[in-house]
Amino acid sequence: QELVQLPARQKVLLTGTPLQNSMEELFNLLGFLDKRKFGEMENFVEGLEDLEKSAAVDRLKDVLTPHMLRRQKADVNLKMPSKEELIVRVEMSKDQKSLYRDILTKNFDKLASRGRSTTSLINVFAQLQKVCNHPYLFMRPNTVPRTEAEIRAALKKLTKSSGKLLLLDKMLRKLKASGNRVLIFSQMTTMLDVLEDYLIGNNWGYCRLDGNTKSSHRQRIIDRFNTSHAKGNEEQFVFLLSTRAGGVGINLATADTVIIYDTDWNPHNDLQALSRAHRIGQTNKVMIYRLVTRGTMEERKIERTRQKMLLEHVVVRGTMRGASMTQKELDDVLKYGTEELFAAEDDDDDDDDDDEEEKGGEA
């Protein structure tokens, strides 16, 4: 509101994401450019309710064309190498299934009540997301392993307790043997702590950057990772980053593999993150692996972020529809997979612990 009051004959906005979650974001940008033309949100969205209809798309184009100039990397012939993204679905471990069921059971009243608040549902969602990442985000072992045998046993338990980490373990061993360099992104710094313990247990060199990293240290850490590759030191082949802290102003083009450990609600945050590797200076094809826990709210979350990307595709380029997330949709995300999970409760008792090691991911 204060920016709109600034006296200016001309206004220019530069952004890579004119729309991230809803049409309201785009309206606010246009309102800053021309408050008289874009004064009321209701008038702006009138006729745009269903972007599956060609008339609505045509009207949207008429509104945006005089105000938006779009340029892509391909338009300026940067000769970027290709990139490919795979969604890799993994199974939960026995510990994860048990925790997931416990959280759903304890919050049954919240999920069943019609008067529940969105805030309470989001809190449940956050707990389920932690389960999908790793059970140690709730309670980590108190004992500190001291002997070599204890360290090996602790590392094995750490790895087997999470379907994602079990798969990541297999992936990193192959990537390291092939000489690949890997960026691993997570929204949770506590998850980065777990991954750090895993890397230390394997005696693998790594770098880490998150919101707690001092600004004076950031570039030094980035340079250390990039120069280690230039010097032929491939021991330091993993870089741990928090999704939002590692999303802007960082060049890690020496990496050719990106692993999204957990998906952000805002797909543009993940896009910014993977662009740390797929940027000017990259000479290799970039592979992106997005880990998703099968039969959980993560699968619905992926669908929701895809809808947001479709909305951006229509608004900025022109075909489908999108809207902000309703309480009903959030409810659907939380309850996804619960029937199958509780039906399988008895089967878990018959599983052999060693079966965990046989589990892999499906792309």
Is position 277 within any domain?
yes
Task: State how far the Cα of 251 lies from the Cα of 299, in Å rounded to an integer.
Answer: 30
Sign of CA dihedral 165, 171, 172, 174: positive
Confidence (pLDDT) at 56: 65
Q: Do the Cβ atoms of 128 and 99 come closer than 8 Å? A: no
Confidence (pLDDT) at 17: 73
CATH label of the domain that carries residue 236: 3.40.50.300
Closest CA to 121 of 133, 111, 135: 111
Confidence (pLDDT) at 324: 46
Is position 12 within any domain?
no
Is position 18 within any domain?
no
Is position 314 within any domain?
no
Domain that holds residue 181: 75-296+337-362
Q: Any idea which residue has 């072992």 for tokens?
A: 141
Domains in the chain, number: 1
Task: State how far the Cα of 339 lies from the Cα of 272, in Å rounded to an integer.
Answer: 35
Walk along the chain (363 residues) and give the pLDDT tens digit of each residue.
777 777 888 888 888 777 766 677 777 888 888 877 777 766 666 656 555 555 666 777 777 788 888 777 666 666 778 888 899 999 999 999 999 999 999 988 777 776 566 777 888 889 999 999 999 999 888 888 888 999 999 999 999 999 999 999 999 999 999 999 999 999 999 999 999 999 999 999 999 999 999 988 999 999 999 887 656 566 789 999 998 886 566 888 899 999 999 998 887 788 888 888 887 678 889 999 999 999 999 988 888 777 767 666 666 654 333 444 455 555 555 455 555 555 656 555 555 555 656 666 666
Q: Which string of DSSP letters, residue by residue, matches 130-151?
A: HHHH-GGGT---SSPP-SHHHH
Non-local (6+) Cβ contacts of 272 within 8 A are 16, 247, 248
Cα 355 versus chain centre, distance? 28
Confidence (pLDDT) at 313: 64
Strand order in the sheet with 83-90: 205-209, 236-242, 182-186, 257-260, 286-293, 83-90, 361-362
Confidence (pLDDT) at 319: 35
Is position 318 within any domain?
no
Is position 117 within any domain?
yes
Is position 175 within any domain?
yes
> b/e string for 140-152 if b means 16 or more Cβ within 10 A?
eeeeeeeeeeeee
Q: Could you give the residue ranges of the DSSP H alpha helices within 202-233? A: 215-230
